[in-house]
Amino acid sequence: MLSIFRIRGGPVPLRELPSFLAKLVVFGAVTGPFWASFFMMFGYPEGALEIFLNPVALAWASLTGVVFALCFGTICGLGNGYLRGVLKGYPPAIMGTIYIVYNAVGCSLACALSFAIIMHLPGTGVKIEVPFLWAIVATDGIIGAILALIIGAFIKLKMQVECTQKKLSEMAVTASQAQSRALQSQINPHFFFNTLNTISALVEEDPGAAREMIGRLSDLFRYTLGCSCADAVTLGEEVQFVRDYLSIERARFRKRLRIDLPEGDLPPVRIPGLVLQPLVENAIKHGIARLIDGGSVRVRVRVEGAGERFRVSVRNTADEHALPDGAAMFRPGHALDNVRARLRIFTGEEEPLRVHRGTDWVEFSFEAPAA
Amino acid sequence: MMRLRALIVDDEDLARSSLRRMLTDAGGVEIVGEASNGVEALETIAELKPDVVLLDIEMPGFDGFEVAQQLENPPAIVFVTAYDEYAVRAFEANAIDYLLKPVRPERLERALARVRKRLGAPDAAKVRELREVARERGGPLQRIAARRGKRIVIVPVRDIVRIEIEDKLVFAVTANERLLIEKTITELEAMLEPAGFLRISRGELVNLETVKELLPWFSGTWRVKLANGEERDVSRDRAKQLREAMGA
């Protein structure tokens, strides 16, 4: 009911005024006979039913209803809408007082106006004693004030709920950003010390290669330090990072590691930083490193459909006996669990990281909107 | 000073060459061989019988712990790891030698000195200690080395239904084959008990996972029915243990 008359919606725009008035007319015409019947029960109970049987009385009651609806609707209904806009930003106490006073006066006025119109309609012959009329008008004023109180309380409650919801969602965003930062994967200590060991061996064997490797390790470090995981990086940056990372692993594993990375231009999409590299590192640690003859790591990027989504996959050779089940793969604190948590924040999907496996391979993939 | 015969085990070429250089520089060490994975390590250790093995932990085939658990007369072992907090804690607790990568020459020399000092220690104590550490670190043995013809193959322990003796040779029976294992049944019992195997008679171990039923047999003996349909005899003195293990 309230929403039909836009009580929650603030001021009624000018172009909606005709439809607002039309609604008032219909509302008054339909409910008028019921109001009349209701009030008749107090002084003339026989008439309460008769009003619906006598067409003239019914038409009369509808007309009365229309007059009342128009008076109350324009004075109180429209006024409240405009008041809300005007009073926005005032302290609740002042706002409430003005509402109550306005509605008390408005209802009294609307009531008096309605009676004045009805009494002066030609050929009606309605006569109401003046003291009784004043009593009705005063009562209406009080009812108006009470209504204003109730509606005011309702609006206040609604505003509080909205405010709490807004705060909660703001807190959730902050929490997810903090979580994202906390989840940011660091350089894996295992990888770090193994690389230092490789460099240590190269120092005497091939000083040039050692220098080269120190440079690459520094680049990796810089990337992980500079990459804030709260914001996404381009897919190209992440693939380049993977390329640098793999060049180091290649020095360790030599021929045991075969690499297949996407060549050429990549779609200009963004992904969370440090999501692809942990997947590749996982492929090496749990796939290639466990195979005596080694294997391959393949990264693929595919644009899905008409370009609105893209899919990134990392597939590696794996020992069929060593494929762990899902729960073991996503141990809390494990890199994959971390990647999954960050993709969850990024994509909003519950299971963003998909796992496919064959007899001697395993593949991780995720999809995201290209925009 | 006695010359130590050393074996280097690491899957990375550069890691091995770095250790080789440092061992040579340390002096008093003869490098008898190298292995680049767990299977090779087991073969080479059995063949060359070195005094000391520098054993990398993260390796394909068997990892360093799996290798250590399968050695019968273990040489002195110095574990090498890049980063393994748990392992290091277990080593410290059991006074096992270990080196952290990148390896520093003076740490390597200190480890070699300790190896020399403990060279005469009895095998049984060394075996116990190694198995203890391996178990603390990696849980029960997951895979075991077996022979298919001349090749060493890796058999997942959970695939083994039972272990049996025939003509003094020990075999692991899986769902579809029977593989020779170069160990005594008593050694296997010690190695596999933590993985859920139980000795049911003088010549047989069963994987409790595959036991379907326990049936009373003649004069206090029992029989077990296995998942593959086989029925095996349980000796009288083992029956009680088996019933307890099965919670019966």
> Does any CB of chain A come closer than 8 Å to the CB of residue B216?
no
Question: Each residue of A27-57: pLDDT tens digit?
Answer: 888 888 888 788 777 777 777 788 788 888 8
Q: Does the model's ipTM exceed the 0.90 cut?
A: no
- Tell me if B37 sits within 8 A of B81, measured CB to CB: no
What pLDDT score does A149 carry? 82
What is the per-residue pLDDT for A197? 94
Query: DSSP secondary-structure letter at A185?
Result: P
Percent of chain B exceeding pLDDT 90 equals 52
A253 interaction partners in chain B (CB closer than 8 Å): 12
pLDDT of A286 > 50? The answer is yes
Considering only CB atoms, which chain A residues are within 8 Å of B139? none
Average pLDDT, chain A: 82
Backbone angles phi, psi at A74, to 5 degrees: -75, -45
Distance from CA of A249 to the nearest CA of B (A): 10
> Between A17 and A227, where is the model more confident?
A17
B102 vs A: CB within 8 A? yes
Tell which residue, B81, B35, B34, has the closest CA to residue B58.
B81
Q: Tell me the pLDDT tens digit for each residue of A172-196.
A: 776 766 665 555 556 788 899 999 9
As a whole-number percent, the residues of chain B with pLDDT over 70 amount to 99
Confidence at A272, pLDDT banded by 50, 70, 90: confident
* pLDDT band for position A231 (cuts 50, 70, 90): low
| Interchain CB distance below 8 Å, B102 and A254 | no
CA separation for the pair A219, B81 (Å, rounded): 25
Q: For residue A24, what pLDDT band results from cuts at 50, 70 and 90? A: confident
- Residue A10's region, left for phi above 0, alpha for psi from -120 to 50, else beta, is left
Residue A292 CB coordination number (10 Å): 16
State the pLDDT confidence band at A126, using cuts at 50, 70 and 90.
Answer: low
Of A151, A155, A137, the closest CA to residue A100 belongs to: A151
Long-range contacts formed by B123-127: CB under 8 A, 24+ apart = B123/B73, B123/B74, B126/B74, B126/B76, B127/B71, B127/B72, B127/B74
DSSP one-letter code for B96:
-
What confidence tens digit (pLDDT) does each residue in B59-73 have? 998 989 899 888 888
Cα angle vertex A300, ends A299, A305, to 5°? 160
Both structure tokens of A63: 């007309």
Q: Return phi, psi of residue A245, to 5°.
A: -60, -45
What is the Cα–Cα distance from A58 to A33, expressed in whole angstroms? 6
Quote the pTM value.
Answer: 0.66
In angstroms, what CA-CA distances link A134 with A38, A107, A130, B77, B194?
20, 13, 6, 108, 97
Q: Does residue B14 sit at the A interface (CB-CB below 8 Å)?
A: yes
Cα angle for residues B150, A360, A235 (degrees, 5° grid): 140
The residue count for chain A? 371
Instruction: Specify the DSSP class assigned to residue B78.
Output: E
* Stretch (H or E) spanning B7: strand B4-9
Could you tell me the pLDDT band of residue A201, with boundaries at 50, 70 and 90? Answer: very high
Q: Do A199 and B154 touch (CB under 8 A)?
A: no
Digit-coded pLDDT (tens) for A250-266: 999 999 999 999 988 88
CA neighbor of A357 nearest in space, from A305, A301, A287: A287
Residue whose pair of structure tokens reads 């190298």 in the numeric block: B34
Q: What distance in Å separates the CA atoms of residue A8 and residue A168, rounded to the nearest whole number?
A: 23
Nearest to A200 among B18, B143, B154 (CB): B18
Q: How confident is the model at residue A299 (pLDDT cuts 50, 70, 90)?
A: very high
Indicate which of B8, B14, B16 best probes the interface with A, i.e. most A CBs within 10 Å of its own CB: B14
Q: How confident is the model at residue A348 (pLDDT cuts 50, 70, 90)?
A: confident
pLDDT band at B240 (very low <50, low <70, confident <90, very high): confident
pLDDT in the model for residue B102 = 94
> A253: which 2 tokens?
């594993």
CA distance B86 to A217: 26
pLDDT band at A330 (very low <50, low <70, confident <90, very high): confident
Query: Is A199 touching B (CB cutoff 8 A)?
Result: yes
What does the pLDDT read at residue A8?
46
User: Would you call B83 and A292 a contact, using CB atoms and an 8 Å cutoff?
Assistant: no
Tell me which chain A residues have a C-beta less than 8 angstroms from the C-beta of B34.
none
Interface check for B100 against chain A (CB to CB < 8 A): the answer is: yes
Size of interface A-B (CB pairs under 8 A): 61
Most confident of A110-124, B81-95, B130-144, B221-235: B221-235
Q: Kindly report, residue by residue over B96-109, the tens digit of the pLDDT.
A: 889 999 999 999 99
Which of B61, B102, B154 is opposite residue A197, by nearest beta carbon?
A: B102
